[in-house]
Amino acid sequence: MKPHLLYAVIAAVVLAVGGYLALGTGATPAPPSTFVLLDGSKQTTADFKGRVLLVNFWATTCTTCVAEMPKLVATHEKYAPRGYETLAVAMQYDPPAYVVNFAQTRKLPFKVAIDNTGSVAKAWGDVQLTPTTYLVDKQGRIVKRYVGEPDFAELHRLIEELLRQKA
């Protein structure tokens, strides 16, 4: 085999393997983050490994966020017994008192965090628009990002699929 042809074949194989490894499932690792919950406790992205996690960036002033919240509650209640978690992250500009009031009056059954420095939204792709929602698999990889209200039928199908996978 001629040297230039050999180099071309080697380059093609390296690119193919590299592409496969880089793309794999198409999922990227969720950023390491620390979430400050309403009760003052903290949880990290790593704390959710082994569970399917939905991270929803929202604001009390966002009409779409408020409108989708009952669907997020229903989704959480449907799948939580099977290893599913929901984490609602209030945006930096949302007054903490409003977030606490919203969570209490609507009896949100899932974890609510306040991103008071904006660092969590920054880490998750510089989230600016609400709602922005991420679905994370049991290995801690982001498998889907929704900007705006998700198609809940599609979201439920994806959650079911992820819950069936091994941790």
**Looking at residue 98, which CATH number applies to its domain?**
3.40.30.10
C-alpha–C-alpha distance, residues 158 and 137, integer Å: 10
Tell me, what's the pLDDT at 14? 36
The answer to whether 123 touches 33, Cβ cutoff 8 Å, is yes
Tell me, what's the pLDDT at 22? 35
pLDDT confidence tier of residue 167, bands split at 50, 70 and 90: confident
65 within a domain of the structure (yes/no)? yes
11 within a domain of the structure (yes/no)? no
Full residue range of the structural domain in which residue 37 is found: 27-164
Which of 9-13, 74-78, 97-101 is predicted least confidently?
9-13
% of the chain exceeding 70 in pLDDT: 84
Tell me, what's the pLDDT at 2? 59
Question: How many structural domains comprise the chain?
Answer: 1
Examine the pLDDT at 79 and tell me if it is beyond 80. yes
Examine the pLDDT at 125 and tell me if it is beyond 80. yes
8 within a domain of the structure (yes/no)? no
17 within a domain of the structure (yes/no)? no
Tell me, what's the pLDDT at 24? 40
102 within a domain of the structure (yes/no)? yes
pLDDT confidence tier of residue 3, bands split at 50, 70 and 90: low
Instruction: Give the residue-averaged pLDDT of 28-54.
Output: 97
Average pLDDT, the chain: 89
The answer to whether 113 touches 35, Cβ cutoff 8 Å, is yes
Backbone dihedral angles phi then psi of residue 7, each to the nearest 5 degrees? -60, -40
Instruction: Give the residue-averaged pLDDT of 111-133.
Output: 97
| Greatest mean pLDDT among 1-5, 73-77, 163-167 | 73-77
Contacts of 148 (CB under 8 A, 6+ apart): 64, 129, 131
State pTM to two decimals: 0.84
Examine the pLDDT at 15 and tell me if it is beyond 50. no
Tell me, what's the pLDDT at 17? 34
